[in-house]
Amino acid sequence: MPSLIKNIINENVHDKTVLIRADLNIPMSNGKILDHTRVERLIPTINFLKSSGARIVICSHLGRPKGKYNKDYTLKPLVKILSNILETNIHFSNSCVDQEALDIKKNLKAGEILLLENVRFHEEETKNDLSFAKKLSEGCDIFVNDAFSCSHRAHASLHAITNFLPGYSGVLLDQEMKALTLVLSSPIKPVAALVGGAKISTKINIIQYLITKMDYLIIGGAMANTFLVAQGLDVGKSLFEKDSVSVAKSILNKSKKLNCEIILPIDVVVSKSFEARGNTKIVSSDMIPLDMMALDVGPKTIQKIGFIFHNIKTLLWNGPLGAFELEPFGEGTFSLAKTASSLTTSNKLVTVAGGGDTSSALNKAGVGDTFTYISSAGGAFLEWLEGIELPAISVLSNNK
């Protein structure tokens, strides 16, 4: 984590009004919250501020309401769940920048919490507008970014806001940064990355960056098919990207020069159709029938990757190894997740995971709480893996 970023827990916030940018962009249906994870991860920062006698103002976005009010994206349903989890009353403002919001801020007592309405109800938010950020900052003394998962966006409540308030990291952002730095900047070696998912085209930059950092790069999911084709193999009806075959060849060649061993499936689970509980069989990766498609890694591949897990010290996990959402194509992901989990709980392996479907896959495997760290971020996690400086993080580094 950049050393210039100050953590709010090291500051005196007594009698200060603290604006927290949280990520409360959580799945909801008919006003009901389907997953409380992001709310729960905000608790350590809130509890610190409450116990320190600060007044707390929370802002966040929800969905993409296109710069105007939309009842489907109001944060109001979160008042009750925040109140229950934090065991305190929560004030709510129907706007984040109007006089009502400012009046409530000014009347908050120590330890009290105000939740502002969705910042994306204003088009100025996504335009990183300075005047909007100034209005948002009014009545506050300090800004805390506790939304690593949004920090790849230069939006007003994340970026421009630091022109008006001194900026700090929250507990969650600090944890995320330290975990990712541990894996990419100062890992305990040997270190491996497992990268899965459907398309290599969406992860070319990530893979190109990781082969400069890793001892092993394990590739699974449908993107592995493109690498198999690059090796001259026929993958039958399996999904692969014809336009990315030359890139895959280049990555395979470059990895050898960088002493990064790329691990591809040596056997796969195939089926004639992409459907749950269809007829399947296990074949060698060089023997995929013309009328079948690879939908998961096979037992020999699972054994090979498991052996690697036992011989490394640090693992970065991004994406599933197969179509885990359909039975029985989750065996590779679930089996290896359990292996990584077991090694982690016995202090033999540091495991950091995140991005895309990773969290849901690991939760489905029953190991969501046993990895060293599972990032709540999607796009920000992936951009960090590419070595891209995140705008809402860099602005904290520059903020005095």
Co-location of 260 and 123 in the same domain: no
The SS3 call for residue 90 is strand
Asked, for residue 64, whether it belongs to a domain, the answer is yes
Asked, for residue 83, whether it belongs to a domain, the answer is yes
Q: Are 38 and 78 in contact (CB under 8 A)?
A: no
Range of the structural domain that residue 36 is part of? 8-172
| Residue tagged active-site, from 21, 38, 135, 304 | 38
Instruction: Please give the structure tokens belonging to residue 249.
Output: 């060849």
Q: Which of 172, 205, 240 is the last residue of a domain?
A: 172
CB atoms within 10 A of CB 66: 11
**Residue 376, pLDDT score:** 74
Is residue 38 flagged as an active site residue?
yes
Q: Which of 109, 137, 172 is the last residue of a domain?
A: 172
| Residue tagged active-site, from 6, 199, 313, 338 | 199
Q: What φ, ψ does residue 280 adopt, rounded to 5°?
A: -130, 160
Co-location of 199 and 149 in the same domain: no
pTM above threshold 0.85: no
Co-location of 159 and 211 in the same domain: no
Q: What φ, ψ does residue 8 adopt, rounded to 5°?
A: -60, -25
Co-location of 223 and 345 in the same domain: yes
**Residue 1, pLDDT score:** 44
Of the chain, the percentage scoring pLDDT greater than 90 comes to 74
Asked, for residue 100, whether it belongs to a domain, the answer is yes
The structural domain count of the chain equals: 2
| Residue tagged active-site, from 111, 368, 379, 387 | 379
Co-location of 151 and 197 in the same domain: no
Co-location of 274 and 140 in the same domain: no
Asked, for residue 179, whether it belongs to a domain, the answer is no
Co-location of 167 and 194 in the same domain: no
Co-location of 137 and 282 in the same domain: no
For 190-326, where are the alpha helices, taking DSSP H only? 204-210, 223-230, 245-257, 299-310
Asked, for residue 398, whether it belongs to a domain, the answer is no
Co-location of 92 and 157 in the same domain: yes
Question: Which helix (DSSP H) or strand (DSSP E) does residue 397 occupy?
Answer: helix 391-398
Is residue 356 flagged as an active site residue?
yes
Co-location of 151 and 206 in the same domain: no
User: CATH no. for residue 95?
Assistant: 3.40.50.1260
> Which residues is 340 bridged to in the sheet?
none
The SS3 call for residue 194 is strand
Asked, for residue 32, whether it belongs to a domain, the answer is yes
Question: Which helix (DSSP H) or strand (DSSP E) does residue 10 occupy?
Answer: none
pLDDT band at 348 (very low <50, low <70, confident <90, very high): very high
| Residue tagged active-site, from 139, 298, 319, 356 | 356
Co-location of 196 and 127 in the same domain: no
Q: Which of 148, 172, 196 is the last residue of a domain?
A: 172
Task: Indicate the range of 47-51, 220-224, 376-380 predicted with least confidence.
Answer: 376-380
Read off the pLDDT of residues 247-298 as tens digits, 9 standing for 90 and up.
Answer: 999 999 999 999 999 999 999 999 998 887 778 999 999 999 999 999 999 9
Is residue 379 flagged as an active site residue?
yes
Asked, for residue 177, whether it belongs to a domain, the answer is no
CB atoms within 10 A of CB 30: 6
Read off the pLDDT of residues 114-163 as tens digits, 9 standing for 90 and up.
Answer: 999 999 999 999 999 999 999 999 999 999 999 999 999 999 999 999 99
Read off the pLDDT of residues 6-15 as tens digits, 9 standing for 90 and up.
Answer: 999 999 999 9
Read off the pLDDT of residues 197-238 as tens digits, 9 standing for 90 and up.
Answer: 888 888 888 999 999 999 999 999 999 999 999 999 999 999
In 3D, which of 142, 141, 158 has the Cα closest to residue 150?
A: 158
Co-location of 216 and 364 in the same domain: yes
Please give the Cα distance from 222 to 85 (Å, whole number). 40
